[in-house]
């Protein structure tokens, strides 16, 4: 059955940045496909609210932990929490990220280091902590949320573009490291999804400009990323690894 290819019953997913936006939408999509999930973010109140939304109308389980991905110690604690609470992590979605636009000659060391830690270093550290258990079970899915800013960019996006491009390269190498263990590693590169992050750093004029640059002429709803995430998280994507899926409404087609 085609539907069985996307069935995640019995699987556990860990999703960082899971309290809102793309992370919450993907968590809900995986729960609807049968998975139990663990979500993390920096704010307990947002996580508690998201937990209720993610599991509403289902019998699935959602646990959460407050974790600041800019702090390496928090990353290790998150991995330990997920494995202890759920007994396993089959699907890891590295979604947490941030962006502080700065021109190349205005970047501060503090912001460079903080964004690198959240967008890139924490991804390495969390993947490193979760993968050994996947290897033992000979099955796993690792998905890094990159960005079209890995391929195109905008003024002041030096640090953000650097981290998102690095995720693409890391996924390719990790796919080679882990393929023999039945683990796939891929990236999703979203384009204009109107979540809190772009809404906070883009002016209304920039938002309108981005919308017009897509083939579809609009920003995406976070729910429109769920299909791609479900493909890569399930048996339907079992022969896809080391790849990056651009989901941008045709933004990079121009």
| Candidate list 6, 64, 160, 193, residue with the active-site label | 160
pTM of the model: 0.96
40 beta partners: 16, 65
Q: Return the pLDDT at 254.
A: 84
Residue with tokens 């390496």: 72
How many Cα atoms occupy the beta-carbon half-sphere of 82 within 13 Å? 31
Contact 130, 92 (CB under 8 A): yes
CA angle centred on 162, ends 131 and 158, rounded to 5°: 150
pLDDT in tens, the chain (254 residues): 557 999 999 999 999 999 999 999 999 999 999 999 999 999 999 999 999 999 999 999 999 999 999 999 999 999 999 999 999 999 999 999 999 999 999 999 999 999 999 999 999 999 999 999 999 999 999 999 999 999 999 899 999 999 999 999 999 999 999 999 999 999 999 999 988 777 777 788 989 998 999 999 999 999 999 999 999 999 999 999 999 999 999 999 98
Q: State the pLDDT at residue 199.
A: 78
**Helix orientation angle between 226-233 and 21-32, rounded to the nearest 10 degrees:** 60
What would the DSSP string read from start to end of 43-101? -HHHHHHHHHHHHTTS---EEEEE--TTSHHHHHHHHHHHHHHHS--SEEEE-------
Is 160 known to be catalytic? yes
pLDDT at 220: 97
- Torsions phi, psi of 144, nearest 5? -95, 130
In contact, 54 and 24? CB cutoff 8 Å: yes
Contact partners, residue 55, CB within 8 Å, separation at least 6? 31, 61, 62
Q: Where are the alpha helices (DSSP H) in the chain?
A: 2-5, 21-32, 44-55, 72-86, 109-116, 122-137, 158-178, 196-201, 204-213, 226-233
> Residue 235's CB: how many other CB atoms inside 10 A?
15
- Report the CATH fold assignment for 2-245: Rossmann fold (3.40.50)
SS3 of residue 140 by DSSP: strand
């Amino acid at each position: 059955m085609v539907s069985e290819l996307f069935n995640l019953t019995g699987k556990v997913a860990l999703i960082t940045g899971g309290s809102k936006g793309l992370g919450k939408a993907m968590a809900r999509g995986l729960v609807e496909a049968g998975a139990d999930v663990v979500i993390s973010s920096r704010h307990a109140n947002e996580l508690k609210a998201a937990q209720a939304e993610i599991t509403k109308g289902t019998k699935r389980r959602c646990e959460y932990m407050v974790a600041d991905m800019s702090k390496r110690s928090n990353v290790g604690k998150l991995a330990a929490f997920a494995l202890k609470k759920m007994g396993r992590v089959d699907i890891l979605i590295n979604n947490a990220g941030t962006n502080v636009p700065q021109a190349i000659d205005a970047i501060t060391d503090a912001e460079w280091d903080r964004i690198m830690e959240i967008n890139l270093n924490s991804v390495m550290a969390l993947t490193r902590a979760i993968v050994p258990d996947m290897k033992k079970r000979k099955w796993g899915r690792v998905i890094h949320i990159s960005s079209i800013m890995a391929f195109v960019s905008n003024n002041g996006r030096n640090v953000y573009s650097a981290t998102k491009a690095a995720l693409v390269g890391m996924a390719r190498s990790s796919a080679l490291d882990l393929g023999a263990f039945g683990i796939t590693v891929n990236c999703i590169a979203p384009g204009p999804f109107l979540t809190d992050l772009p809404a906070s750093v883009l002016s209304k004029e920039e938002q309108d400009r981005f919308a017009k640059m897509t083939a579809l002429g609009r920003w995406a709803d976070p729910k429109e990323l769920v299909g791609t995430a479900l493909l890569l998280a399930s048996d339907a994507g079992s022969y896809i690894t080391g790849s990056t899926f651009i989901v941008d409404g045709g933004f990079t087609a121009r």
